[in-house]
């Protein structure tokens, strides 16, 4: 719950909630909903990177080299971006972190960053979704190349399989949404994510919610765990 003491001895001066989960678990959706409801700032590393690239910041230009090669951005750059965002006045009322930390090293760095500002993690919530469901969620995404309308084979299928409702164009799928690519991504993502979960479980900061439930039920479960 929000009142629990986290890592370190300083008292928490603002709520800091971390959402953990694999791609497709619904972290971004839940973070957006909760940030709007609770008045917290939603810090998603993907958004931070895109903003830094757009604004051509020092960290953004350093990250650009890796992103243009298709490589993972080093931990120190991701940590630097998050540290800058946490120091911004817009995050003073509370924070929901989405997509960070991704590794145990990042988790330890986050604790140091927060402690330097007199803060600590309030609660970590892992959104649990089976790997089979993650594959179905991610690989089910298709879109119309002509009008851009998105579809999902399970949650929002076209009226005629493989055909856009609007203009009859054959739907296409992004390369990174293909089943084999999705499985390869999850194979790389899940082991370090489990290390992050183990790290926070050892610190008695972890709650787990069932991410297979309807969106509003997952939101309610997370709110209950963070005491909001």
Catalytic residue among 41, 102, 123, 137: 102
- The confidence score (pLDDT) of residue 152 equals 95
Distance CA(225)–CA(151), nearest Å, equals 32
Active site residue 174: yes
137 noted as active-site residue:
no
Is 27 catalytic? The answer is: yes
Each of the 228 residues of the chain gets a pLDDT tens digit; together they read 343 334 333 344 799 999 999 999 999 999 999 999 999 999 998 888 888 888 888 888 887 887 777 677 788 888 988 998 899 888 889 999 998 999 999 999 999 999 998 999 999 999 999 999 999 999 999 999 999 999 999 889 999 999 999 999 999 999 989 999 999 989 988 999 999 999 999 999 999 999 999 999 999 999 999 986
Residue 159 annotated as catalytic: no
pLDDT for residue 70: 65
Inter-axis angle of helices 131-139 and 179-202, to 10 degrees?
130
102 is catalytic: yes
pLDDT of residue 78: 86
What the chain holds in terms of domains, given with CATH numbers, is 16-129+190-223 (3.40.50.300)
Could you say which of 185, 194, 201, 223 is catalytic? 185
Classify residue 204 as left (phi > 0), alpha (psi -120 to 50) or beta.
left
Residue of 27, 41, 123, 137 marked catalytic: 27
202: Cβ contacts below 8 Å, ≥ 6 apart: none
pLDDT reported for residue 94:
93
């Amino acid at each position: 719950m929000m009142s629990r003491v986290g890592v370190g001895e300083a008292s928490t001066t603002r709520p800091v909630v971390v959402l953990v989960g694999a791609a497709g678990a619904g972290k971004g959706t839940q973070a957006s909903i909760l940030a709007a409801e609770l008045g917290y700032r939603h810090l998603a590393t993907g958004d931070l990177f895109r903003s830094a690239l757009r604004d051509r910041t020092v960290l953004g230009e350093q990250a650009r080299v890796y992103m243009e090669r298709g490589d993972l951005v080093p931990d120190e750059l991701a940590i630097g971006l998050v540290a800058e965002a946490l120091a911004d006045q817009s995050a003073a009322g509370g924070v929901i972190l989405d997509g960070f930390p991704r590794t145990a090293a990042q988790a330890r760095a986050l604790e140091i960053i927060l402690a330097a500002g007199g803060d600590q993690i309030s609660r970590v919530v892992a959104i649990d979704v089976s790997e089979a469901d993650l594959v179905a969620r991610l690989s089910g995404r298709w879109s119309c190349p002509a009008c851009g309308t998105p579809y999902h084979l399970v949650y929002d299928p076209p009226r005629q399989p493989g055909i856009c409702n609007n203009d009859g164009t054959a739907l296409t799928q992004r390369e990174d949404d293909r089943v084999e690519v999705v499985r390869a991504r999850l194979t790389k993502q899940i082991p370090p994510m489990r290390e992050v979960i183990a790290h926070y479980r050892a610190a008695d900061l972890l709650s787990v919610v069932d991410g297979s439930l309807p969106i509003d039920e997952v939101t309610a479960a997370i709110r209950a765990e963070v005491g909001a």
